[in-house]
Amino acid sequence: MKKDKDGKPIHPLRSVRDWKAWLKTFLPVVAWLAFGVLITAWMFAYVDLSPKVESNLFFSNEDPQLKEDTEIRRIFSQPEQIIVSARGDLHAAEYYEKVRELSEDFLALPEVFTVQSLTHGPDDVEDALKSPLWQRVVLAGEEASFVFLFLKEQPKEDVIRRIEKICEARKAPGFELMISGGPHIVEMIRRNLFRDLKVFSATALALFSLTLLFLFRSVWIVVGTVAASVISSTLTLIVNQVLQIEMGFLTANLSTIVFVLTLSHISFMTADWKQIMEADSNQENAGWKAAFGTLEAALWSTGTALLGFLSLFFVQAKSLRQFGIAGAVGVLFALFGAYVIYPWFLNCQKQSPNFFQAAPNAGGKIAAFLQRGQRWIFAICGVLVCVSCFALNQLNTDPSLFTYFQKNGDLRNGLEYIDHHGGSNPLNIVVSDPENPELNTREAMRKMWALHEALEKDPAVGNVVSTPLLLAEAKRSPLTFLMTNELVLDILGSKRFGDVAKYFITEDRKQALFTLRMNEGALQEKRLLIVDRIKGIVQSQNFNVDLVGGVFMLQGRLAALVSTSLLSGGALLNIVILAITFFLARSLRVSLAMLISLYFVPIVMFGILGWFRVPLDVISAPAVNLALGMGVDSMIHMVVFIKRKKMPIGKWDSWAQASSYLLEPIFWSTLVVCAGFAIFMLSTFPPTQRFGMSVVIGTILTPFAALFILPYLGGAEFSFFKNKNKRPRVK
């Protein structure tokens, strides 16, 4: 009979039992890894990961914010526009010929129905300089001219690329070309975001893995964490595709958010598993015991995050509603990955590894230091909150489009040049005259011309195109002085002149459209305030403002909705946290302490962004949700730990033990998340930089809220005369 290494006889069925035990332990791991590979391959093959934004700028056709803009498009058939700036010597014959060739190339595109340029509009350069219309529309001083492309519909990605190829082919010394316009700007943002997501998400995943390996010193834990997080993120993207939720600017970072939420659950489970293994290294199914031990806190934190995301469903913006639904799906899959997949990998680690520690008994020493200095750390956090409150009003939630591109980069320089010579962002205003029901009379035209000049004087307005400007241009022709305004408008509305009149005045002549090209570079206040000022100018000229639309207006409304969603989501979070914490702790003091502690994170985070004038755009805004999710998770685990150990919830001893126990998992998740997201700050795309920086700031602030502020508010006796010897010490 065969013997083992100790000389004992091996039972004939022992090898069979060992084989069955091996299958029971490792077969689920192999199955989950195979499943992860398959669904990841399926996702890359069938899920469209490219962010999409259309001309309605994040809004759906049913959103009330878009109704006025949709009505303007219906009445005046406003086409999409792309602007190309051509710098050179306007008076040179070679320059004029190059503009003509460029215009013809654009007209050859089937998606372009007409072009306005120096060669397709005015007779020549001298005529453009004398014209009230063309000097505003196609000239940029004496050094450049504009080529306007009017498109039949919202251009797709391939149309933008063909326009770029034409410009690249026609570019030459002394003939510098730069592209602008709403569709091109949106495409550049989408393209940069998609590129960074591919490059930096993969790099961040590698950094996550290396940091986990450095901390845990266990291949099984690292592989399990990565597998659970990747599967959770992948399933989230697949289900959102099934729910027809498109990948937008807000949902572009969703997979990263799900990855971090999964990692947060795993950190607390691994800490519980470590305690189990240190107590008895021969424990069977220690991974599942740790999972069941932390499941209650995970369920409560998942419920809180779920309600936080679902609160966005009631916001009147398509992108925010979709982000709320997609985030809710991601929260559920994060719980699934951590508590259904990860324990199988944790069971494969048969002994507690030598986790990283800076020094022997470092955890106990740090915990003791934190408890002794709790009051001072709390005071420092209070000072940070007070200082941050002064900077909240400086937070820029409505940044210029130029902040989406690298400063002094070629693309931004080109956009700023075009914007400086007449503006770049359209704002449409439909007016009517209560004194002159029909706007084709001489008096009505005189009033509209006065309004036109008043609008051009506003510092936020570049150029203005309107009916009186078209009429002034038409009356430069011989014999038109003999024609009535109505006859001239009829001629301008004919096919011969491209139906130009119908874009600016209705057939019944009761409403007129003023198209303003707004200066993005001069944006010193919120867009909605500028729009209100523009409406005031219109009303001061005795006109009614019937409709307001355009990309400039939609951007302002979106920025307002993002700010409102943060406030409304915070209000719902208040109610949820108070209810959940009171149910768990049966203590109003602890509920309020948790609420105050949680608000420390966004207040200081927004304060830092405000002090340093960092724009909070729609791409970096989800970083707040991620930081709050980690904060809620840590705090609920603190409360559940005290409850599970059956300690009094209002005593300092209880919170001291909870802080000591949860110090390691909170430190692990903070270090891993910061290491992964810090790489985003190396991007050349500013929104990606701001997203990474915001996540790192929020992640660093979370431990202060969970380990210092909450224990102090929840357990301290607030007595300056208390004997310090009674304060608990950590061995």
Q: Is 209 a domain residue?
A: no
Residues above pLDDT 70, as percent of the chain: 85
Write out the two tokens for 552.
């400039």
| Average pLDDT of the chain to the nearest whole number | 81
Write out the two tokens for 711.
């224990």
Task: Give yes or no for a contact between 48 and 247, defined as CB atoms under 8 angstroms apart.
Answer: yes
Q: Is residue 345 predicted with pLDDT exceeding 70?
A: yes
CA dist 341 to 56, 80, 677, Å?
41, 49, 24
At 548 the three-state DSSP class reads: strand
Query: Torsions phi, psi of 62, nearest 5?
Result: -85, -10
Write out the two tokens for 61.
């056709």
Q: Is residue 522 predicted with pLDDT exceeding 80?
A: no
Same domain as 132, residue 42:
no
Q: Is 729 a domain residue?
A: no
At 177 the three-state DSSP class reads: strand
How many domains are contained in the chain? 4
CA dist 665 to 37, 367, 521, 703, Å?
28, 13, 46, 10
CA dist., res. 617 & res. 691, Å (int): 9
**Ranges of H-type helices in 5-109:** 14-46, 64-76, 93-107
- State the pLDDT at residue 36: 92
Which range has the top average pLDDT, 470-474, 562-566, 673-677?
470-474
Q: How many CA atoms within 13 Å lie on the side-chain side of 555? A: 23
Q: What's the rounded mean pLDDT across residues 299-309?
A: 82
CA dist., res. 580 & res. 397, Å (int): 31
CA dist 108 to 102, 112, 301, 669, Å?
10, 8, 58, 56
- State the pLDDT at residue 355: 58
Q: What's the rounded mean pLDDT across residues 320-328?
A: 83
pLDDT tens, position by position, 684-713:
788 888 888 888 898 899 888 888 888 888
pTM, two decimals, is 0.78
Structural domain of residue 27, as residue ranges? 1-75+218-350
Q: What's the rounded mean pLDDT across residues 616-638?
A: 78
Same domain as 562, residue 711:
yes
Same domain as 572, residue 537:
no
CB atoms under 10 Å from CB of 718, counted, come to 8
Same domain as 682, residue 601:
yes
Same domain as 503, residue 596:
no
Q: Is residue 491 predicted with pLDDT exceeding 80?
A: no
**Count H helices, E strands: the chain?**
25, 8
Same domain as 271, residue 133:
no
Same domain as 567, residue 536:
no
CA dist., res. 628 & res. 641, Å (int): 20
Instruction: Tell which wins on pLDDT, 490 or 63.
Output: 490
Q: Is residue 13 predicted with pLDDT exceeding 60?
A: no
Q: What's the rounded mean pLDDT across residues 4-10?
A: 52
Q: Is 361 a domain residue?
A: no
At 430 the three-state DSSP class reads: strand
Which range has the top average pLDDT, 29-38, 252-261, 346-355, 592-601?
29-38
Residue given tokens 């009094």 in the structure block = 648
Write out the two tokens for 324.
């709320």
Q: Is 691 a domain residue?
A: yes
Query: Torsions phi, psi of 515, nearest 5?
Result: -100, 115
Q: What's the rounded mean pLDDT across residues 658-683?
A: 81
Q: What is the CATH number of the domain that holds 241?
A: 1.20.1640.10
Q: Is 275 a domain residue?
A: yes
Confidence of residue 7 (pLDDT cuts 50, 70, 90): low
CA dist., res. 29 & res. 521, Å (int): 55
Same domain as 269, residue 177:
no
Confidence of residue 291 (pLDDT cuts 50, 70, 90): very high
Write out the two tokens for 345.
């990998």
Q: Is residue 602 predicted with pLDDT exceeding 60?
A: yes
- State the pLDDT at residue 11: 45
CA dist., res. 85 & res. 101, Å (int): 14
What's the Rg (C-alpha) of the chain?
32
* Residue 210 CB burial class (10 angstroms; 0-12, 13-18, ≥19): middle
Task: Give yes or no for a contact between 702 and 668, defined as CB atoms under 8 angstroms apart.
Answer: no
Same domain as 685, residue 562:
yes
Same domain as 673, residue 593:
yes
C-alpha angle 242/245/246, rounded to 5°?
115
Domain boundary residue, one of 137, 167, 187: 187
CA dist., res. 361 & res. 384, Å (int): 31
Same domain as 107, residue 42:
no
Q: Is 263 a domain residue?
A: yes
Same domain as 342, residue 294:
yes
Instruction: Tell which wins on pLDDT, 630 or 718.
Output: 630
CB atoms under 10 Å from CB of 438, counted, come to 12
Instruction: Tell which wins on pLDDT, 64 or 331.
Output: 331
| Extended strands (E) in 195-246 | none
